[in-house]
Chains A and B, each alone.
Chain A
Amino acid sequence: GAGVSQTPSNKVTEKGKYVELRCDPISGHTALYWYRQSLGQGPEFLIYFQGTGAADDSGLPNDRFFAVRPEGSVSTLKIQRTERGDSAVYLCASSRHRGGETNEQFFGPGTRLTVL
């Protein structure tokens, strides 16, 4: 498809386990973003990639969270030693440019993570 895709759509795991969430951005978009959305809240920024490098990771809540984008396209968000508080919808977005006016971010459908 032409939009941002995320897999899996749902992930249920147990406390303490490791999870990986994948994002496939729109083809040609150099910027990629991860957000986290808790129930009844707006999305909260986690990390932003420009190409292969993390340009801003200041939103990652702690060192259990890590994200990579080794070839400048697909990105993986990795969460170690999951906690119940990590349960949320993880949203990925991509945009064509790093900054400036053409910075509409197009969002994927999200991965709903449930930590039991």
Chain B
Amino acid sequence: AQKVTQAQTEISVVEKEDVTLDCVYETRDTTYYLFWYKQPPSGELVFLIRRNSFDEQNEISGRYSWNFQKSTSSFNFTITASQVVDSAVYFCALRQETSGSRLTFGEGTQLTVNP
């Protein structure tokens, strides 16, 4: 069975604070892909990053960084120096090689960045 857990339902921070969104996944596949999507109030899901199971290198893109640890089945997302425009719901998702192309999403984390 595949499963994605985002234990933090809501997070509220003040602008310029750093914030980490947690994602824990379950899969029996050795080949799989992990994703993060952002869903702003407009509702459209925006792709942020994809990681495959063979690449545990952490990645940084501007103020965003991702920490992939297979040992703990986690793929956490950190926003540095948060801004009001970062306010959105963030979803972590998993694609297993044996499940075709479907994405299994977590429940999402509502991030609110206050000025």
Contact = CB atoms under 8 A, between A and B. Distances in A.
Interface of A: 31, 33, 35, 40-45, 48, 55-56, 59, 89, 91, 93, 95, 98-99, 101, 103-110
A106 B47 contact: yes
A48 B102 contact: yes
A33 B104 CA distance: 12
Interface residues of B, number: 25
Interface in B79-107: 91, 93, 95, 97, 100-107
A56 B107 contact: no
Q: Which 8 A-B pairs have the closest CB atoms?
A: A42-B105, A107-B45, A45-B102, A109-B44, A56-B100, A104-B47, A43-B105, A42-B108
Given A42-B106, A43-B105, A103 B100 contact: no
Given A42-B106, A42-B107, A48 B101 contact: yes
Interface in B26-54: 33, 35, 37, 42-47, 50, 52
Contacts of A98: 101
A93 B95 CA distance: 15
Given A42-B108, A101-B52, A110 B43 contact: yes
Contacts of A35: 103
Contacts, number: 66
Interface of B: 4, 33, 35, 37, 42-47, 50, 52, 91, 93, 95, 97, 100-108
B48 to A, nearest CB: 10
Contacts of A59: 102
Given A41-B107, A42-B91, A105 B47 contact: yes
Contacts of A33: 101-103
A89 B35 CA distance: 21
Given A35-B103, A43-B103, A103-B95, 14 more contacts: A40-B108, A41-B107, A42-B91, A42-B93, A43-B91, A43-B105, A48-B102, A99-B100, A101-B50, A101-B52, A103-B50, A104-B47, A105-B101, A107-B37
Contacts of A101: 33, 50, 52
Contacts of A56: 100-102
